[in-house]
Structure 1
Amino acid sequence: MGTVKLGENMEIKVEVIKKACSMAMKAHKYPEKQYLFDKIKSSSPEVVFSFAGSLSVNDWFAGGSFGDMEVDRRLFPSLKYVGLDEFGRVNEAFFKRFKAVLANPKFELEVALVILFPFLL
């Protein structure tokens, strides 16, 4: 069996994966902010939005192992297990925080601005 490098066999660039990981950790340093976003230093105008998940033991084990729940099919209809026709699972506490970010009108506006005016970044 061979090895696979970060980003290999995926449509996501390594820079995007690295930025997403670092932004996810950075979000925990700013608990007063619901989410963060930053430009990826590359030739194309790409942005990563991140939010802090939860470091609480209660959140990780609420309702079962790792607080998992089936993914919301309305928001993520294509998030399924690879090779199976079964929907994936997510941490419930993380998902609740993500839904709160999605409900924030400021977030919606910032995403729209990034899409419509990427050159302003």
Structure 2
Amino acid sequence: MIKDKETLLSYFIKSFPNFREQWESENNYNITEDGTFTVAGLCAEFSQYYIDEYSLIDQRQKSELFDIIENILTSSEMNRDLLDLSHSLKSCFLVNISQAEAGDLSKSDMGKKMRKFFDEWHVYP
């Protein structure tokens, strides 16, 4: 189960191996000099990866990703320890992809809670 930023990062790298290169890149400004990062920065960086690589990500990976996000959003209502993850996934992943074709194409993979939030921000033509 994904319970914090470290397990989320591990999931992203394991499930989307090409994300590791982007995450470890010198161009990733979401990691501080001492190697620390915030969950918001992680979600923002992953959103850019998702937008850029959307067509290369297989459907199974997309479905699993959105199932996990939906689970975190739902679980955070009863488990306050997940609120930081939930808020960051909404504000730094879903909002970012809502303005891109990748987000528009992902709507059918989203669960009810995620889709409700996404639709409030969705501005892609």
TM-score between both structures, scaled by the size of structure 2: 0.30
Q: Which structure is higher in strand share?
A: 1
Work out which of the two has the higher radius of gyration on C-alpha atoms and give 1 or 2.
1
Larger RCO (CA within 8 A; separation ≥ 6):
2
| More helix, by proportion | 2
